Structure 1
Amino acid sequence: MVIVGAGPTGLAAANMLGLLGISTLLIERNPDLCTFPRAISIDDEGLRVCQALGLGDILLPSMRLGTEAHYISGPHYLARVAPLACRNGFPLISTFHQPTFERALLQGLERFPHVHVRFQYELVNLTQAKDEVFLSLRQPDGGRQQIKCSYVLACDGGRSPIRHMLDLGMRPPSLLPFSRRQRSERSQSGAMQRWLVVDCAGDDDPSNAIIFFCNPKRPAVTVPAPNGGRRWEFMLHPHEQPDDLLRLERIQELIMQSRRSQRHWSAGKPACVIRQAVYTFYATMASRLFRHRVFLLGDAAHLMPPFGGQGMNSGLRDVHNLCWKLSLVFQGNASPHLLASYQTERVPHVREMILFSSALGHIIMPTSRRAALARDLLLRGVVARIPPLVESLREMRVKPQPRYKRGLILPATSLKHRHLPGTYLPQPQVLTLQGRSLLFDDLLCSGFALLKLSGEANQAEQPLMHPLWSTLQPRYIVLLPPSSTLKTHWPEHITPVVDSDGSLRSLFGSSQDTYLLVRPDRYILGVFRANEEVAFARRLIRLLSP
């Protein structure tokens, strides 16, 4: 396996493949990791992927966990996003320092003797055969090296040379049936924006909130970062030249103008600017996410505005979706046709995230005074008076929820459970046999899991007998109610846990003879009753090996 690009997505993929025991080469054309921050926001799903990489204990202490998001128009609050829910085991909004994040991911690769990293190696060309990919690499001394591998993961950024080699174009997603020409016209007019991005150190602002300044004269955002850091972002108007806004005195002026609109603002000290740059934000995705044996992940596959904070998080989701499928294929437990489900599953969710981020930007960051006034009237005059809508905004339920409707999913035969396949399994705290409280995913490791209810702590559980289970080797977990007392002796094939808050048990209703098969990326693959085991296993075998 070869991964091209040592950004967050490529490094995460290398760690995931390392955990799965797959021999991997990670190449990066630059001499080292990037030294300045680009991404800054990570959500609960992204943190759950970090946990799956086995690096949660290393990564989380360096992050600023549990931030809020405030939307301000002049002196008024339009909305506050302050989630209390913790469905995936982590806060919904957190911030991080990307160089620190990437360095920890790189150090994580030291766990795996079968994963190798080569800096200053640049991919020059690749060709694909039926069962292999041939790559031509430029070495640090300028010489060429020819290698071959089974698959290539292109994590080489928004300008992805590999995407160009594969002749895969980028286009803005749409829910409407626009023609390619119409989409091209839309991409030229409305799918890109220029923003000044400023990173500061030694910040004295006490706010722990991401603040959106919804001012049509100059839309802006400020994001608190770990260790006294803060990011500022300011929209450029079409007539403005980047060189003018990149001047330090102009940056200080913009920051001071924004800070004066904050209720807690005080004179403070000038911002300590450590980096400034002008970026163009796009809303676009590749026409296909793979071609034969080469897969696009992260920015190579999709680019989105930063308003939803979903750019890097979407790359982490790509990694978690694809790597375990590659492992199944390498082990001979699935046909290579299974890998097409990467496209089937990820494209709809990526499209939703791009449209969500774009719509959020249009709503909260219009440059038209009339549009801004209409927005203010709607949010302050209508939405603020409807408690369910206020709660929905506070808990960030407007964000598209993870759900796969097609792909490696088996529809339930029971109407009672038809909503479960394809959904993301919640992650509560559970109590183990040894009396330890831990996050549920820590029991699952990197494989499949079979979940079942148990009404009483001493109830006997019989193993499933179909040969498929010895192939997939799922962790068999019995969920006990909070009132249960764990007994000291359970069959070796069972891991009993007390579902402390009942969120896992609630998925079953009262069906104690029902099993949930959970994929390694924590999505529910299917649901079946004990008397449906054989039929379910046959359906799954057909899905894995068409």
Structure 2
Amino acid sequence: MNKEIYDVVQIGYGPVGQTMAALLGKTGQSVAVFERWPSTFSLPRAASFDHEIMRVLQSIGCTDKIEEKIVPFINYHWVNAKRDILLKVPYGGTATSGWENGYLMFQPEIEKALDEAARSNSNVEINLGWQAEELKEHEDYVEVTFRKGEIPEPGKWVPTNETRTVRALYVIGADGANSFTRNKLEIKTEDLGFEADFLVLDIRPNDPQHLYHLPEGYQVCDPARPTTVVSRLGTEHIRFEFMLLPGEKKEDMLNTEKIQELLKEWILPEEGTIIRKVVYRFNSNIAEKWHNNRVFLIGDAAHLTPPFMGQGMCSGIRDAKNLAWKLDLVLRNKAEESLFDTYQAERYDHCKKLIQMAIDLGKIICIPDEKEAEKRDQAFFSGSLPPFPEMPILTNGILHKNQNGDILSPTGELSLQDFVSYQGETGRFDDIIGQGWTIISTKADPRNVLTNNQIFLLEQIGAKIVHISNEDNKDTVYDLNGKYAEYFNERGLEAVIVRPDFYNFAGVPTMEELPGIVDDLLSQLHLKLSETLIG
């Protein structure tokens, strides 16, 4: 595919960029992706992701390829220098999204599946080995110039004389912490005040179960050396993160003798192979603008999160899912470009809360002073510290608010997914019914209370209207495990409206209230006049 002008040109092709390309590919938009490096990165960075992200991966057809390569994140324990338990975080069990609450991965295996998902769409063009060097915004398109590079030795990118200039209606910067896109647009970032250097070691043990006596996540809050142990980095690897102490230098930490000294408590040199050793600086910042005219930032280009919540990559994939459905509506001429104003409005606060939560955890973990660490330990033992933080909900943007402007549960919360059966097929709801805007009722067919015009407009945005019941018949979706009935009954609901990114737009206690909520939804979507929605 080589078009004069693309719907979207994307700069960057890490896991967030791969997800974005796959999401846009499934909507049929023409996408050209350019990545500086000639192949996907062969070593891990992120270690975990949660049930919400697994549902996003489900939406692009990746889960069957990765389920055997990931492991459920069941337990996360914090211990002090004496290895006394400070905190046990139970991660295990099926979450709202219909998947395990969390997973641990070997990132290259996930990226392989994401890459295949993106490339499976003929409308997605992947260009590896091209670095962006110029970006010009015009009134109705963006022009980007890329330069081809060569890799004469690992990790070294050398420019050639070959360039290529492309045009697109929109450009997405998924180009990481040192984002060319963000820097070119002169977008400032806010430093949120956390910085720490860690030696990260990824190891392939001879016995994959070498550390199975430990929980999957093991946080050693030892002032002598704050340490994170991931005992299952996917199915065949493990990870250690050792904080650098005051006065320690990067080059000294990468010394073989120093590494063996740090690892001796956990694994001996003959018991495994180090596949990656690097000193990382864990930062915390967020871009002031995520959207400038026809250009968007996603992932690390927009925000950096310390790893203590395991939410850095997750936040980037949430960006992609949020932006993808909005680009789809605008590119299909269903909505005005003003819809894009909701992108940062929705994602910024949610992401910033997660960054702050990670910072707060980091400050508890990364205490190098013995007396301060003892105070922390006593606070844990006495129960005076607050509980492990819960995930934030969506609080801004396209959400139903009551007359006082308040958001009431389940609005802004992640929606339920469970197993259903319909017309002879059984599986998770998204696989059987489909994705996008969805109205679900356990009371009756929502169409019974909606006007013809409402149904027409909902169909134009691709909405699904679903009656789910405990009766297995051809006219309704069968609630296989009774989870939907349980969910609706516990919350006193008769219907919910679910956004394409799986957050609840609203829930209603009676079907009679549904038409008014649908009108509110349609008014918030920046839809074009009805005659332009036809087709």
Deviation of 1:226 after TM superposition, in Å, equals: 2.1
Asked if the contact 1:170–1:284 (Cα under 8 Å) also holds between the matched residues in 2, the reply is: yes
Deviation of 1:248 after TM superposition, in Å, equals: 1.7
Deviation of 1:12 after TM superposition, in Å, equals: 0.5
Deviation of 1:520 after TM superposition, in Å, equals: 0.9
Counterpart of 1:112 in structure 2 is 121
Change (3 A) 1:246 1:112: same
AA aligned opposite 2:343: Y
The answer to whether residue 205 in structure 2 is matched with residue 215 in structure 1 is no
Measured in 1, the distance between the counterparts of 2:297 and 2:406 equals 37
SS at match of 1:151: strand
Measured in 1, the distance between the counterparts of 2:369 and 2:130 equals 47
Measured in 2, the distance between the counterparts of 1:267 and 1:110 equals 41
Deviation of 1:27 after TM superposition, in Å, equals: 0.6
SS at match of 1:79: strand
Asked if the contact 1:50–1:59 (Cα under 8 Å) also holds between the matched residues in 2, the reply is: no
Counterpart of 2:10 in structure 1 is 3
* Larger mean Cα displacement after TM superposition, 297-306 or 104-113: 104-113
CA deviation profile, 1:368-416 (whole Å, cap 9, x unmatched): 21221112112123369xxxx8xx65xxxx2323x22221112256999
Deviation of 1:444 after TM superposition, in Å, equals: 4.2
CA deviation profile, 1:502-546 (whole Å, cap 9, x unmatched): 35653366867x432211111112345554555444433332227
CA deviation profile, 1:5-27 (whole Å, cap 9, x unmatched): 11000000000001111110111
AA aligned opposite 1:104: A
Measured in 2, the distance between the counterparts of 1:400 and 1:449 equals 23
Correspondent of 2:448 among 462, 471, 474: 462
Counterpart of 1:103 in structure 2 is 112
SS at match of 1:139: strand
Measured in 2, the distance between the counterparts of 1:328 and 1:431 equals 29
* Larger mean Cα displacement after TM superposition, 106-115 or 279-288: 106-115
The answer to whether residue 143 in structure 2 is matched with residue 134 in structure 1 is yes
Measured in 2, the distance between the counterparts of 1:137 and 1:523 equals 37
Asked if the contact 1:42–1:95 (Cα under 8 Å) also holds between the matched residues in 2, the reply is: yes
Counterpart of 2:309 in structure 1 is 308
Measured in 2, the distance between the counterparts of 1:360 and 1:44 equals 21
Change (3 A) 1:198 1:504: farther
Counterpart of 1:156 in structure 2 is 175
1:256-267 alignment, distance < 5 Å: 256-257=264-265, 259=266
Counterpart of 2:431 in structure 1 is 442
Change (3 A) 1:42 1:533: closer
Change (3 A) 1:417 1:312: closer
1:47-446 alignment, distance < 5 Å: 47-73=54-80, 74-87=82-95, 88-140=97-149, 141-173=160-192, 187=193, 191-202=194-205, 203=207, 204-206=210-212, 207-223=214-230, 224-257=232-265, 259=266, 269-382=270-383, 393=388, 398-401=389-392, 403-412=393-402, 418-434=408-424, 436=426, 438-446=427-435
Deviation of 1:417 after TM superposition, in Å, equals: 8.8
CA deviation profile, 1:195-250 (whole Å, cap 9, x unmatched): 10111112522234211111001101111212331111100123111111111221
1:441-520 alignment, distance < 5 Å: 441-454=430-443, 462=448, 464=450, 465=452, 466=454, 467-480=456-469, 484-487=470-473, 489-490=474-475, 495-498=476-479, 500-503=481-484, 505-507=486-488, 514-520=494-500
Deviation of 1:121 after TM superposition, in Å, equals: 1.4
Aligned residues: 499
Asked if the contact 2:74–2:93 (Cα under 8 Å) also holds between the matched residues in 1, the reply is: no
Change (3 A) 1:82 1:23: same
Query: Identical aligned pairs, as a percentage?
Result: 27
Q: TM-score scaled by structure 2?
A: 0.87
* Larger mean Cα displacement after TM superposition, 57-66 or 266-275: 266-275
CA deviation profile, 1:168-202 (whole Å, cap 9, x unmatched): 111134xxxxxxxxxxxxx4xxx211110111112
Asked if the contact 2:395–2:407 (Cα under 8 Å) also holds between the matched residues in 1, the reply is: no
AA aligned opposite 2:177: G
Measured in 1, the distance between the counterparts of 2:45 and 2:365 equals 22
Measured in 1, the distance between the counterparts of 2:446 and 2:525 equals 31
Measured in 1, the distance between the counterparts of 2:133 and 2:407 equals 50
AA aligned opposite 1:400: M
The answer to whether residue 524 in structure 2 is matched with residue 543 in structure 1 is yes
Change (3 A) 1:507 1:374: farther
SS at match of 2:383: helix
Measured in 1, the distance between the counterparts of 2:195 and 2:269 equals 34
- Structure with bigger strand share is 2
1:516-531 alignment, distance < 5 Å: 516-527=496-507, 530-531=511-512
Deviation of 1:426 after TM superposition, in Å, equals: 2.2
SS at match of 2:58: helix
- Structure 1 gap segments, 5+ residues each: 174-186, 260-265
Asked if the contact 2:226–2:243 (Cα under 8 Å) also holds between the matched residues in 1, the reply is: yes
Change (3 A) 1:509 1:225: closer
Measured in 1, the distance between the counterparts of 2:480 and 2:288 equals 43
Change (3 A) 1:444 1:300: farther
Change (3 A) 1:267 1:254: closer
SS at match of 1:540: helix
Change (3 A) 1:279 1:527: same
Measured in 1, the distance between the counterparts of 2:435 and 2:347 equals 20
Q: TM-score scaled by structure 1?
A: 0.85
Deviation of 1:275 after TM superposition, in Å, equals: 1.6
AA aligned opposite 1:81: V
AA aligned opposite 1:420: P
AA aligned opposite 1:525: F
Asked if the contact 2:48–2:310 (Cα under 8 Å) also holds between the matched residues in 1, the reply is: yes
Change (3 A) 1:318 1:407: same
RMSD, matched Cα? 2.6
Measured in 2, the distance between the counterparts of 1:100 and 1:231 equals 16
Deviation of 1:324 after TM superposition, in Å, equals: 0.6
